[in-house]
Structure 1
């Protein structure tokens, strides 16, 4: 989560001003009387497709807004709740797209249990994502889909579009948000990687997930919190310093709810991610061994927008940027550095002015309505192999 730096009180060493006292008292009273400050109402949605650990939802239009244009499909990462895209009113990417009239869809997976322990990554790459993409395209009148994947959702999206086994999918563009590709550049993992390779696949982590059938919810929640340990330690002080800031307090409430709703990893999938991703760092070379084949990210032939969070400790900017030179088959690759940590870059208070606007621009650029008609048998690709990079700030 993203807690702002501790704020100094106007007139250091003096008592807070009357306006601050009134605002603080109002916030405390509202929390006591109503249980919180955040508007946590979910955006209304309808289930349009489901299968094994696959639920595809369509978000209903807002009021009199007419949905038009190519659809957007938000791909949830494993273990994280779909709240990442609909955190709270005002900080919801779903709300942003829906109120703008964009046909908006979500892919999530439901509860993962012990009976799902034998499902590997190929279940998502071969079945879940391709099916969801085709269902969304059909539901939206046959239009191509703009994929947006956060964290592991971005990695699954990359693998799905690169996998020749998936066939040609109706995808217009891909946006990858905070997805680490070269894990050797993740400081949190760097000191652990030599230890991970010591046991030759027979260490305590391997034995643990095999015995438990995966990574249970409490462990996933603990790992996410540990990644922001410093912020956890300073959180009580930050709350006290911002007791008069309703927006700050509401964001903390929403992030706390998100963290409390973590989901388990299936055993086989966790094992593949652990051995091939965390230990083997396979994706750093643009290749990933899956089932009976090797997936090459260079096979992706749609435009790709990549976001790195300026203060992301789970997926630092260099670890995310590493994907750019690997996307050799993409007509355009663009890299953006945006404010925020791992979750904040997607749905923090600054995201509406940075990440979301960059997504809007990208989707508009690569939407069907903006693409010139190409002669039969030719591609609409532009600027082959080009890559651009910029930083967005508040």
Structure 2
């Protein structure tokens, strides 16, 4: 199995401009690139497939470039439905700094580091006359409006600004080919039209004998039809300040059995045979969630580092065992981010607290659950009906965790005493 065949097996090849030619060309090191527009301060897990693809080429001895769209980010790749909101210069720079740091963290650690480039270096100085004369004349309007990203917007409307995006991306490929000897561009399947625009511009300006390539990969989709990359309706970001290691780890742990093998093939750097063995073990013992645990560990360490992975696993183990006293207050808040939170400004008996916060509907039921050992306070079973939940006994004198039954957690924030 050659490298391109392996990518195919992993579900990472959809369209190729010249598969036979590229297969041959990949026998020797090639310079390739993938673009990332700074539309937010952070990339999210949907970007991982392309980042890890660069890492795969990197591991094969090829030379990857990651392009930051400092100029194209001012415009935005056309979305299927509506125009993008234009970014201010300040927001754009903040986004560039954020995603650049993430790309470096993931791809700079290898002996064959990725090179980071910014298309603002060559596009921002381009005059409108040079744009029209040197590049615009090579593009047919009929061909441009036939591209999926533009055709989908013809009925709802598309500005000339976003209509021009494909030309700017083609200029990127041409510029990188001339300056960095880039011969391959990769991207998601939604980038096919832009990739083809680049290869065509190179041949029209430099000659048809020039051989360059474009490869797209299937976008990651969940089997139930919901959008990949969200948990509880929120994006899973690659910035640790926006998505902590525990939440990131749990996102992969909670991947459905129907999706996990596909995600494992696409996103794990494990060799093919190791993935096949893992798949076999997963099929035989799905309840152990071996595939989910393997992918969660690998990707959490990739994005959050070894310390982040260890913290996420420690927090997961504490939640499973109920030993929450092993965690810091910030870690507890992370673990129970989706649990009910109650602000309490005075010490109360456990019975009163359970009723006043509406954890339980009545004192009779509160007393019964306490006597049955169904209430835990900071991980410890409490059966004393006179037990007082006090700020001085809280974790860091700040937080008390009440567990009702096996799965229902409530956080008590202790304010100042009245």
TM-score range, shorter chain: under 0.3
The structure with the largest helix share of the pair is 2
Q: Higher relative contact order by CA 8 Å / sep ≥ 6: 1 or 2? A: 1
Greater C-alpha radius of gyration: 2
Q: What TM-score do the two structures reach when normalised by structure 2? A: 0.25
